[in-house]
Structure 1
C-alpha cells in the first residue's frame, strides 16, 4: 500500500512535474507473470523513472546498507526502500553475486517483474558498457522474457540560459530465450544471451558500446585519477578485434 502512496501521492506528482518523463513501448511489458526489465544505467534516479512508467510494481535488488541503518534516518530509509520494491543484497560477502542471482530467480518464480542493470554499475561516462551474465542465467532458469529498457536523458534549454533534464524510458520488444532451455551454466550461451540483450539496449538508447566492464573502469579511475575515456582506451581491444566482440543479435 505504501508503494502506491509513494508512486501516486508522495513522489510521483513531483517527479512528473519537474522532469515530465515520457514512456515508449509500455505495451511490451506483460500485464501478468514474471519478466526481467534489463536497463542501461545512467543515473541514480533510473530506478525511480522506470517503475513510474508502468502500472505494475517493479522489484530491484539493492545493497543491504539501505536496510540496516539505525535511528530515525535508518528507519525512514528502510521503510522507503522496502516500500519502493527494493530487496536487500549483501554485496560485501564473497558470494554476493551468487546471492543476488538466486534472489532474482526467487523473485521471478514468484511471478514478479525484476528490474536489473546488466552493466552492474552506473556508466562512468554515459556509454554502454559490457554486461554481466547474471541476467542470462536468471532468464534461463526461470523462462522469464527479458524486456530491454533504455533510459534516455536530454537537456532542454529554457529562457535565460537555464536547462532542465527531460527523461524518456523506452521499453523494447520482449526477448525469448526458450530455445536455450536447459543450458544454464554454459558460459558461452550465457555470454551470447547477455550480448544480445546489450545489443537491444544499445539500439534503443543510441549509446556507444564499450567492450569493457564499467566496474573495472571505475576501479582504475579511483586508483589512477585518469578519466573514463583514458582508461577505456587502455583496456578496450584494438578496433578490428573490438568490432568482432561487440554485442550482436543471435540468429534464430
Structure 2
C-alpha cells in the first residue's frame, strides 16, 4: 500500500469512528475523467472525509496557503497533493496547477465560499472558480455537507457526529467564446451556489435561502453523460 493509501485508510477509520458518515451518494461521482467538485465548507472535517472516502480515486483540493504553516497539516495535504492557494488575490500559480490537474483527467475540489462557515450555514460564493471552469471546460458537480457543525458539542458528550454528504446534478457553464463580464461571472457563481444550496436542508441555505431566486441561464446539465 502506498503512503497515500495508508493515510486514507487511517483517516477514513478515524472519521468513521467519531462520525456517522452518510456517504451513499458518493457513488454518483464518476470514477474517471476531469471534474470540478464544488461544495460548502463547514469545518476541518470536510476535506479529510471527502478525500479519504472517495478513494481509490484521487481528489486534488485547493487549500488555503496558511495550512502549510502547520507542519502536520502541511504534510497531510501534501500527501494528498493539494494545491495551496493565496486567498484574496489572483493566485495564477494555483490557477495553472488546478488547470493542469483537470487536463490530466483528475478531480479537483473547490470550496467557493473561500473560508469555513463553522455553523454550516451557506455563505456567499466567490467567483474565482468561474474562469477555471470556462478555461478547462470540465464538468462541475455540486456536493453539500451538513451535520459537522455540531462536532465539538458532540465530542464533549462522547457522541458521534452525523456527517451527511449529498451530491447534485453535473453541469457545464455555457460559454460562447467571449470572456464573461464581472456581472456575468457573479451570476454564474450565484447559479452554481444555488445548486449547492438545493442539496442542503432549508436551515443551512443561508445566503441562498430563497431557491425561488435561483436561475439556470448559464448551466448546461449533463445527466447521463458522465461515466460512473
Q: Normalising by structure 2, what TM-score?
A: 0.78
Equivalent residue runs for 1:62-211 within 5 Å: 62-67=63-68, 74=71, 76-91=72-87, 95-96=90-91, 98-123=92-117, 125-153=119-147, 163-177=159-173, 179-206=174-201, 207-210=204-207
Larger radius of gyration: 1
Q: Tell me if the contact between 1:198 and 1:247 (Cα under 8 Å) persists in the aligned partners.
A: no
Residues 26/89 of structure 1: CA separation in 2 closer, same or farther (3 Å cut) = same
Per-residue deviation, residues 148-205 of structure 1 (Å, max 9, x unmatched): 01011166999xx76431101111121122x314244432332222111111110101
Matched position secondary structure for 2:165: strand
Measure how far apart 1:77 and its partner are.
4.3
Measure how far apart 1:250 and its partner are.
2.7
Matched position secondary structure for 1:168: strand
Q: Does 1:45 align with 2:12?
A: no
Q: Counterparts of 2:190 and 2:33 in 1: how far apart (Å)?
A: 25
Matched position secondary structure for 2:63: strand
Q: Cα RMSD (Å) of the superposition?
A: 3.1
Matched position secondary structure for 2:217: coil
Q: Tell me if the contact between 2:194 and 2:211 (Cα under 8 Å) persists in the aligned partners.
A: no
Q: Which has the higher contact order (CA 8 A, sep 6+)?
A: 2
Q: Normalising by structure 1, what TM-score?
A: 0.71
Unpaired stretches in structure 2, ≥5 consecutive residues: 221-228
Unpaired stretches in structure 1, ≥5 consecutive residues: 212-241
Measure how far apart 1:247 and its partner are.
4.2
2:215 counterpart residue number? 248
Per-residue deviation, residues 33-82 of structure 1 (Å, max 9, x unmatched): 1101100111121101112332311111223344466xxxx3x5443221
Q: Tell me if the contact between 2:11 and 2:52 (Cα under 8 Å) persists in the aligned partners.
A: no
Tell me the matched-pair count.
Answer: 211
Matched position secondary structure for 2:114: coil
2:62 counterpart residue number? 61
